[in-house]
Copies of this chain bind each other. A is one copy, B any other.
Amino acid sequence: MLKTYPYSTLSETDIQRLITRNADESLQVTDVVLDIISNVRTGGDSSLKELAQKFDKVSLDTLYLDKSEIEDLAMRIPREQQRALEIAFQNIHRFHSIQVKRERVVETMPGVKCWREIRPIEKVGLYIPGGSAVLPSTLLMLGIPARIAGCKEIVVCSPPQKDGKINGYVAYCLHLLKIERIYLVGGAQAVAAMAFGTETIPKVDKIFGPGNQFVTKAKSLVQSMTNVSIDMPAGPSEVLVIADETANPTFVAADLLAQAEHGADSQAILVATTESLIERVNQELVQQLAQLPRQDIAQKAIENSYAILANNLEDAMKFSNSYAPEHLLLEVAEWEPLTRRILNAGSVFLGHLTPESAGDYASGTNHTLPTSGYARAYSGVSVDSFVKKITFQHINEEGIKQIGATVEILAELEGLQAHKNAVTVRK
Contact = CB atoms under 8 A, between A and B. Distances in A.
Interface of A: 80-81, 84-85, 87-88, 90-91, 94-95, 98-99, 101, 103-104, 106, 108-109, 112, 114, 116-117, 119, 121-122, 133-137, 169, 205-206, 220, 224, 227-229, 233, 250-251, 254-255, 257-258, 260-262, 288, 291-294, 298, 335, 339, 342-366, 372-380, 382, 384, 388-397, 399-400, 403, 405-407, 409-411, 413-423, 425-426
B363 A395 contact: yes
A84 B422 CA distance: 17
- The copy count of this chain in the complex is 2
B114 A357 contact: no
A5 B389 CA distance: 31
A1 to B, nearest CB: 15
A343 to B, nearest CB: 6
A366 B391 contact: yes
Nearest to A132: B415
Nearest to A297: B418
Given A104-B98, A411-B361, A112 B91 contact: yes
A253 B364 CA distance: 52
Nearest to A335: B394
A390 B348 contact: yes
A410 to B, nearest CB: 4
A197 B255 CA distance: 35
A406 to B, nearest CB: 5
A259 to B, nearest CB: 8
A250 to B, nearest CB: 5
A374 B423 contact: no
- Choose among A227, A257, A352, A400 the residue with the greatest number of B CB atoms under 10 Å from its CB: A227
13 contacts: A91-B108, A95-B106, A109-B363, A288-B418, A298-B418, A347-B392, A354-B393, A355-B426, A356-B422, A358-B403, A358-B423, A362-B410, A380-B389
Contact of A423 (B81, B339, B357, B406): B357
B229 A134 contact: no
Given A229-B377, A294-B415, A353-B396, 7 more contacts: A87-B406, A99-B103, A99-B116, A119-B344, A260-B418, A358-B400, A365-B391
B395 A351 contact: yes
Given A363-B395, A372-B227, A413-B136, A423 B355 contact: yes
A409 B81 contact: yes
Contact of A419 (B114, B360, B377): B360
4 closest residue pairs by CB, A with B: A108-B364, A355-B422, A84-B409, A91-B108
A376 B151 CA distance: 12
A291 B418 CA distance: 9
Contact of A416 (B117, B258, B399): B258
Given A114-B363, A136-B413, A410-B361, A391 B348 contact: yes
- Choose among A169, A335, A349, A422 the residue with the greatest number of B CB atoms under 10 Å from its CB: A422
Given A227-B376, A373-B227, A384-B384, A359 B391 contact: yes
Contact of A258 (B106, B294, B374, B422): B422
A98 B106 contact: yes
Contacts of A121: 376-377
